[in-house]
């Protein structure tokens, strides 16, 4: 029996498992955190050392659960959250905390940068607060002393690979946006225009290529794996798509964890407004990450005071209640939005509330609101590609909820297929490791061998008229409220006219106390 160590560094948790060559998990650990430090300035940071501590903790748990299997590990592959930058000096030391996928401090600078860049460059229009080039430019402008020491830029899983092997490397999927900015157009690349050297990029590998062997001198239990190969892998979305069996032409995928990612996979590159086109090493994806997802359900449960128990049980209980005949509309932009709007100032909204609405109506509105956003992305991707997706492979924590799977199928008008693996990211990382070890001739062959389907949800024709009407109202609500969201966000800034309301609230509270 062959065993690999597969890891998935997610937005709010770290998962690790011992997986065999048929995809069976023999031991698994899931550890929460670290939580990002967020503030009103748009800052969102995590100390990368905390991720290294999570890796050691998870491996310690696996080694305690299955000591013989841990010692038999033949290779390691780690997939990880993307749109998060780690800044290193010449000696590989951290210069500052990592900027997470939620960080919006570079929003204003990104707008100025777009005016400076060549509009004909294919990547210029994609420069926004979430783009690595804008964040590098922000660091150069706001933290010049740190920027002058910058020698290498890595993603979170790359940093863990560095700690394991001593080698700085990444892959072309995870670094797609920065590589697109480096690509010359008209004789100059966007990094050069922004005054940033391309030398900060690490070595580029394919996801199934080896970064290096585990180096000696690491803390226990990693010292038991010295010499074992570490494969580059890729971001968590790419790995989860492999683990869902969706890495094939004509498939759509929807990964719903803390946030959602949706896209369509094709043989040729295509472009659509607000969507990302990424070379997935032989295939191309058109879509990208949202700021909303299953975490929106956690927000709702906390709002209703029902966040003390199991999330799945709580949302099931809400959905089992009676629903009002007039549905609510929910705009799910609780943290701004990435795909397809790339606007950190968008805000959420519940529309249509009346006195008879209750928790069940709120629960359905949240699930349908996220599904409506899924359809916006799917419609744009399919229009650009010129054909409809054959199915949507659905994975992540939300895929355990059959009601949400059916809502997505009905609203998007496509079959929703849930894979048997409840951890597609871990399975995708294991597939990378076994492919790198030569157990399979290709990633496609490994995917075919290890991925199985648990359940399929077909669109129900009788529900189509109602959901078409709901989707049309959702789109009208988006268009109407987006300008108000932007004005509200701007007015609440420190210098804005609404900034004092939070301070006034404490003074009003003392009046009540008196």
Q: What is the pLDDT of residue 37?
A: 94
**Rounded Cα–Cα distance for residues 317 and 85 (Å):** 39
DSSP-derived secondary structure letter, 198: G
- Please check whether the two domains, 3-234 and 248-494, share a CATH topology: yes
Helical (H) or strand (E) element with 483:
helix 464-491
CA neighbor of 96 nearest in space, from 147, 134, 137, 61: 147
Per-residue three-class SS string for 216-268: CCCCCCHHHHCCCEEECCCEHHHHHHHHHCCCCCCEEEEEECCCEEEEEEECC
Q: What is the pLDDT of residue 311?
A: 86
**Vertex 324 angle, CA 323 and 329, to 5°:** 95
Q: What is the pLDDT of residue 454?
A: 95
Do the bridges between strand 86-88 and strand 152-154 make them parallel or antiparallel, or are there none, so unpaired? antiparallel
**Rounded Cα–Cα distance for residues 103 and 344 (Å):** 9
- SS3 assignment, position 99: strand
Q: What is the pLDDT of residue 331?
A: 98
**Rounded Cα–Cα distance for residues 460 and 414 (Å):** 10
CA neighbor of 238 nearest in space, from 288, 301, 303, 193: 288
Beta strands in 297-415 (DSSP E): 329-331, 349-351, 391-395
**Rounded Cα–Cα distance for residues 114 and 88 (Å):** 26
**Rounded Cα–Cα distance for residues 333 and 328 (Å):** 15
**Rounded Cα–Cα distance for residues 403 and 423 (Å):** 19
Q: What is the pLDDT of residue 510?
A: 72
Q: What is the pLDDT of residue 514?
A: 56
**Rounded Cα–Cα distance for residues 416 and 395 (Å):** 10
Superfamily for domain range 248-494: ATPase, nucleotide binding domain (3.30.420.40)
**Vertex 202 angle, CA 107 and 438, to 5°:** 120
Helices and strands (H, E) in the chain, number of each type: 17, 22
On whether the CB atoms of residues 160 and 78 are closer than 8 A, the answer is yes
Phi, psi at residue 213, to the nearest 5°? -80, 155
CA neighbor of 340 nearest in space, from 126, 178, 180, 489: 126
pTM metric for this prediction: 0.90
**Rounded Cα–Cα distance for residues 210 and 137 (Å):** 31
- SS3 assignment, position 7: strand
* Pair of tokens at residue 207: 């996801």
Q: What is the pLDDT of residue 512?
A: 60
On whether the CB atoms of residues 27 and 68 are closer than 8 A, the answer is no
Place of tokens 């003390």: 308
Q: What is the DSSP string of 31-79?
A: EE-PPPEE-TTS-EEE-HHHHHHHHHHHHHHHHHH-HHHHHTEEEEEEE
Place of tokens 């956003």: 373
Q: What is the pLDDT of residue 352?
A: 97
Q: What is the pLDDT of residue 140?
A: 95
Place of tokens 């939580």: 35
CA neighbor of 326 nearest in space, from 298, 306, 303, 350: 350
Task: For the chain, give every domain's residue range.
Answer: 3-234, 248-494
Compute mean pLDDT per 10 residues along the chain, 514 residues long, and list them.
95 94 94 90 95 98 98 97 95 96 93 89 90 96 96 98 98 94 84 90 97 98 98 96 95 90 95 94 93 89 87 92 96 94 94 97 98 98 97 93 97 97 95 97 93 96 98 98 94 84 73 60
**Rounded Cα–Cα distance for residues 174 and 369 (Å):** 28
* Pair of tokens at residue 310: 């199991």
* CATH of span 3-234: 3.30.420.40
């Amino acid at each position: 029996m062959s065993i690999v160590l597969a890891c998935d560094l997610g937005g709010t948790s770290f998962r690790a498992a011992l997986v065999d060559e048929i995809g069976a998990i023999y031991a698994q650990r899931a550890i929460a955190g670290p939580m990002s430090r967020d503030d009103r300035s748009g800052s969102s940071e995590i100390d990368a050392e905390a991720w290294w501590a999570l890796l050691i903790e998870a491996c310690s748990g696996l080694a305690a659960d299955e000591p013989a299997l841990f010692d038999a590990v033949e290779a390691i592959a780690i997939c990880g959250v993307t749109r998060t930058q780690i800044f290193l000096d010449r000696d590989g030391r951290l210069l500052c905390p990592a900027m997470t996928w939620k960080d919006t401090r570079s929003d204003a600078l990104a707008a100025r940068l777009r005016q400076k860049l060549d509009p004909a460059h294919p990547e210029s229009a994609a420069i926004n607060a979430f783009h690595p080039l804008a964040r590098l430019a922000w660091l150069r402008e706001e933290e010049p002393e740190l920027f002058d020491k910058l020698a290498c830029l890595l993603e979170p899983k790359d940093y863990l690979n560095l700690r394991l092997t001593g080698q700085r490397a990444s892959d072309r999927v995870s670094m797609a946006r920065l590589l697109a900015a480096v690509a010359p157009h008209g004789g100059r690349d966007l990094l050069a225009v922004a005054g940033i050297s391309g030398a900060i990029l690490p070595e580029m590998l394919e996801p199934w290529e080896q970064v290096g062997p585990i180096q000696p001198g690491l803390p226990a239990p990693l010292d038991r794996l010295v010499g074992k190969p570490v494969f580059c892998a890729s971001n968590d979305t790419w790995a989860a798509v492999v683990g869902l069996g969706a890495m094939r032409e004509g498939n759509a995928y929807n990964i719903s964890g803390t946030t959602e990612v949706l896209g369509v996979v094709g043989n040729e590159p295509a472009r659509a407004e607000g969507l990302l086109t990424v070379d997935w090493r032989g295939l191309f994806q058109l879509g990208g990450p949202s700021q909303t997802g299953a975490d929106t359900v956690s927000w709702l449960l906390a709002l209703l005071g029902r966040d003390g128990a199991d999330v799945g049980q709580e949302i099931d209980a809400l959905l089992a209640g009676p629903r009002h005949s007039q549905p609510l509309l929910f705009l799910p932009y609780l943290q701004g939005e990435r795909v397809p709007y790339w606007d950190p100032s968008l805000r959420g909204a519940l529309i249509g509330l009346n006195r008879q609405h209750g928790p069940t109506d709120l629960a359905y509105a949240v699930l349908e609101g996220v599904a409506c956003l899924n359809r916006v992305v799917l419609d744009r991707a399919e229009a650009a590609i010129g054909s409809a997706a054959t199915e949507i492979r659905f994975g992540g924590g939300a895929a355990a909820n059959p009601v949400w799977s059916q809502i997505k199928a009905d609203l998007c008008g496509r079959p929703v297929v849930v894979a048997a693996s409840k951890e597609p990211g871990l399975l995708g990382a294991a597939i990378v490791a076994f492919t790198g070890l030569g157990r399979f001739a290709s990633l496609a062959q490994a995917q075919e061998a290890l991925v199985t389907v648990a359940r399929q949800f077909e669109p129900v024709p009788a529900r189509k008229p109602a959901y078409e009407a709901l989707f049309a109202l959702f789109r009208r609500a988006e268009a109407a409220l987006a300008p108000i969201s932007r004005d509200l966000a701007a007015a609440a800034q420190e210098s804005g006219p609404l900034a004092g309301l939070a301070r006034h609230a404490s003074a009003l509270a003392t009046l009540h106390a008196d």
